[in-house]
Chains A and B, each alone.
Chain A
Amino acid sequence: MKARYSARLISLEALAAALFMVFLFPFFIVIINSGKTPFEITQNPLTFPADWAQTLRNMATIWTSPNVKYSSSFLSSVIITVASLLLLDVLPSQAAWVLVRTKTRLSSGIFFIFVASMVIPFQIVMFPLLSWFRQLTVLTGIRLLRTYTGIILAYIGFGMSQSIFLFHGFIKSIPREIEEAATIDGCRPAQTFYQVIFPILRPIHATVVVLNGIWIWNDYLLPLLVLGKGNKVMTIPLAVSNFAGAYVKQWDLMLTAILMAMIPIVVLFLVAQKSIIKGMVAGSIK
């Protein structure tokens, strides 16, 4: 009985390993072809490169090429992601806290509207958003299209409901007594939140940061509309799609650009695999 069972497990292990390789095969293709010259890649996309150092040369080409603008896009992507993440962590957490702790019809009404807005697909707001941002600029003088301000504001608007929802669920489970003790000790409400509650929210901070981080870093349509093509401020997906559209496909450099776009996320995933999987899945189950 036991021998038969383990024989079956071995075959399942082999199956899983085979599927694992199938799933990662596309990335393998990217890696081997990033190390090739244009001639090599057209000759055979399935062999190892003759000289792996070509990968570094291709990377240097992508990084410095004025046509791809990869280095500036990388910087812009980092700025947009980090700023949006900070704001999408702090603002929704404090909003969720007052929404949980204020038990009124207005408060639950606001929460309900936030949650209901999560079904709104980006497509229905994207065109009016553009003309509305233009009008806002006329009214206030603050440029929103093609700027960091505009895209970060947009990310807060589109990401806040889900973040508030996640914080809300967790804060509900925190006993009120903790806060009351702080209030008796003379803490003002804002102090109570930032010194007592905010640190307790750690698991949800992680979920919110992971969920929004992966979304914003990879997002294509929102930057395409708000930042536009050929702008000074570009994100990595925009830079990659510009590069793909601008030439007869230079696959050696395209795949290098793709490899460079993947490296930061994959490294992060290797470091914090558990919390990333948990965060990404927890976000949409609830």
Chain B
Amino acid sequence: MKRKAKHGAIFWIFLAPVLVAFILVIVVPFFLGAYYSFTNWSATARAGETLKLIGLANYAGILKAPSFLYSFLITVVYTVLNMIAINVVSFGLALLVTRALRGRNVYRAGFFVPNLIGGLILGYIWQFIFNNAIPSLGTALGIPAWANPANLLLAKSNTALLAMVLVGTWQYAGYIMVIYVAAIETIPHELIEASLIDGVSAWRRLRSITIPLTRQAFTVTLFLTLVNSFKQFDVNVSLTAGGPSVMFAGRPIYGTELLAMNIYNQGLRSNDMAGGQARAVVFFVVLVIVSVIQVAINKRREIEL
């Protein structure tokens, strides 16, 4: 074998465009970003001119900033609630649409539709529903509490976060449902029939047949819902824009600002690019650790079965 033949001209010609894009868009910014997070980088300064290494000061700044800690906490809460809600709803929907229902294809399509529309637009739709449609429904039904502006879901940070979970679930359940449907449809028919003949209850069938045999799908769905909830940005922008404000550690801060938005705001609103970048690095590290742990746990569980 000649060495030259291994990577012929065609290898490099076909690979060159994606390699260039990869280096320009991912590799260079990734390492620049890691470097910038240790400097006094700002949006106004030209890179290279006044850039000074300041060690871990940006990271120390994160620890001192209550807004990041707060965003971190509510992002964890949001992610956990969202994961539970999405997976429970979508598994339920999957069980429903794998029955011999007449309209099951129509239902599947309908549940999937929210996922086709961008989170930004979905958030605006729900803002209208929460702020306008529900109060007017309250008036129509004679429930004045719903019409009271103080009771609007988006008026308080806790309920606004729940509203985000509601929208997140609605947005994502149909998508996760499709994954569960695919898994449920691989369960051998004989197993179900045998359990029916034996008179096994539906609950028992779910616990002893359906759930164990769809375990593999859970690895995928839990991972997807975890990562996507953790990275939520679009719905956050359009539904709550981070508000309403709350007091935390003695300071007024955004009450529903998830991490992705916190990073964006730190960099571009507060004009602290280096600080925003340091937060992004922490965000990245957490995301990688959590993903690795979760995949490892799920893999182990699959093997045990």
Contact = CB atoms under 8 A, between A and B. Distances in A.
Q: Please determine whether chains A and B interact with each other in the same assembly.
A: yes
Interface of A: 9, 12-13, 15-17, 19-20, 23-24, 26-27, 29-30, 33, 41-42, 44-46, 87, 91-92, 94-95, 97-99, 102, 104, 106-107, 110, 114, 117, 119-129, 131-132, 134-136, 153-154, 156-158, 160-161, 164, 189-190, 193, 214, 217-221, 237, 240-241, 244, 251, 254-255, 258, 261-262, 265-266, 269, 273, 276-277, 280-281, 284-285
Nearest to A113: B22
Interface of B: 6-8, 10-11, 13-15, 17-19, 21-22, 24-26, 28-30, 32-33, 36, 41, 47, 93, 96-97, 99-104, 106-122, 124-126, 128-129, 132-133, 136-137, 140, 170, 174-175, 178-179, 182, 220, 224, 231, 233-234, 237-238, 260, 263-264, 267, 273, 276-277, 280-281, 283-284, 287-288, 291
A136 to B, nearest CB: 7
A134 B48 CA distance: 12
22 contacts: A12-B96, A12-B99, A13-B101, A23-B174, A26-B129, A45-B136, A95-B17, A95-B18, A98-B10, A117-B26, A120-B30, A121-B231, A121-B287, A123-B231, A124-B280, A156-B25, A157-B22, A160-B22, A220-B234, A237-B118, A251-B132, A277-B112
B30 A45 contact: no
A99 B15 contact: yes
B280 to A, nearest CB: 4
Contacts of A161: 22
Given A91-B18, A277-B178, A262 B129 contact: no
B99 A19 contact: no
Which of A42, A46, A128, A244 neighbours the largest number of chain B CB atoms within 10 Å of its CB? A128
Dominant SS among interface residues on chain A: helix
Nearest to B8: A189
Nearest to B36: A128
Contact of A46 (B14, B136, B284): B136
Given A124-B284, A129-B29, A258 B121 contact: yes
Nearest to B105: A273
A254 B128 contact: yes
8 nearest CB pairs, A to B: A157-B25, A218-B118, A128-B33, A125-B29, A128-B32, A128-B29, A94-B14, A189-B10
Contacts of B17: 87, 91, 95, 156
B43 to A, nearest CB: 8
A218 B100 CA distance: 34
A275 to B, nearest CB: 13
A102 B8 CA distance: 9
Contacts of A136: 24
Nearest to A214: B116
A46 B140 CA distance: 9
A124 B30 contact: yes
Contact of A240 (B8, B111, B113, B121): B121
Contacts of A19: 93, 96, 107, 111
